[in-house]
Amino acid sequence: MGKEIERKFLVRGDEWRKLALGVPYRQGYLSTVKERTVRVRTVGQEGFLTIKGITTGASRAEYEYPIPCSDASELLSNLCEKPLIEKNRYKIAHGGLVWEVDEFFGDNQGLIVAEVELTDEGQTFDRPPWVHDEVTGDPRYFNSNLIKKPFTRW
C-alpha cells in the first residue's frame, strides 16, 4: 500500500521565491468524499491519476499513476468538479528535505502553503524561516475542499 505522511504550513513573505522556479499545476477531482478522493492532475506536459484515502493525523493511503496528458486534460475539462485548482509549485530543499510551496491562482488566489513529506509522523525537521503556522489538520486547506469553498470566499 502506498502511504503519504505530509505536514502543511502557511507561508509568509517572499524569500522563498528566489529559491526555485515554479511549475504550473492544474488539478481537479472526480471524487471528493471524505473516505476517498480521486484526483486528476497535469504537471507541465505530464498527466497523473491519484487516489487518496482518509487522512488520519498526517498520514493517508495514496496511489498515483501516470496517464497520458491528453487524457488528463480531457478529464479536467469534462468530468472533474469545478472550479479546478490552479497553482504553481516550487520545490525547495531545506534541512535535508524537499519543501513544496504551492502558490494558488483563480478562486484560491492569495493562498500560499508549504508541504513537507516525511518518512514517519514523529520525524523531526527544521522549518525554513518563511514557514509559519501549521494547518495540517485544518480541512479548509485540503485541495479537495478548496474546490468546494475556495480561499477567496472565506
Residues identified as active-site? 29
What are 86's strand-pairing partners?
26
122, three cell numbers: 514523529
Distance CA 58, CA 137 (A): 7
Distance CA 7, CA 84 (A): 23
Q: How many CB atoms lie within 10 A of CB 65?
A: 9
